[in-house]
Homo-oligomer: A and B are copies of this chain.
Amino acid sequence: MADELRTLVERLKAVAHPLRLRVLSLLEPGELCVCQIAETLQVPQSSVSEALRELRRAGFVVERKDGRWVFMSLIPQDQASLFLRGLLGEAAALPEVQRDRLRAEAVKAMAISVVCAKTPQEVPAEHGVTRV
């Protein structure tokens, strides 16, 4: 009840953040689990987890648990708000987002066990994405 403005502002804040926006865009083609996202974006998994928590709170993504993995996906198109649909369309054109998606394709092509049971050092840096 009431303060729907505040709610909308919270949803906008959730998306007004580089990592969260990248994660959101990354999910558009389909679900990914937390470790796949962390590997794709080359960021600490706790950061991904926190990003996803905010996106979930804002109602943009939903989770599906499968064993120890947590797969996140966008809410269905028909449930998405107007501005979210516009935003996703706009974000899809960004070079950063397109690069992320290429990396995600490569990550999805690998078995999950190969992707996730990795120490950070073993990950070869690509595309100028830096880590430590």
Task: Point out residues on A near B: beta carbons under 8 Å.
Answer: 2-6, 8-9, 12-13, 15-18, 21-22, 81-87, 89-91, 94-97
- Give the distance in Å from the alpha carbon of A71 to the alpha carbon of B74 in the complex: 40
Is the Cβ of A90 less than 8 Å from the Cβ of B16? no
Is the Cβ of B86 less than 8 Å from the Cβ of A8? no
Residues of B close to A15: CB separation below 8 A: 12, 16
Assuming the A-B contacts A12-B16, A18-B9, are A2 and B86 also in contact, with contact meaning beta carbons closer than 8 angstroms in the complex? no
Residues of B close to A12: CB separation below 8 A: 12, 15-16, 21, 87
Residue of A3, A4, A85 ringed by the most chain B CB atoms within 10 A: A4
Contact of A91 among B2, B8, B90, B97 (CB under 8 A): B8
Is the Cβ of B82 less than 8 Å from the Cβ of A87? yes
Residue of A2, A8, A90, A96 ringed by the most chain B CB atoms within 10 A: A8
Shortest C-beta distance, A102 to chain B (Å), equals 15
Residues of B close to A89: CB separation below 8 A: 82-83
Residues of B close to A91: CB separation below 8 A: 5, 8
Residues of B close to A18: CB separation below 8 A: 5-6, 9
- Give the distance in Å from the alpha carbon of A8 to the alpha carbon of B87 in the complex: 9
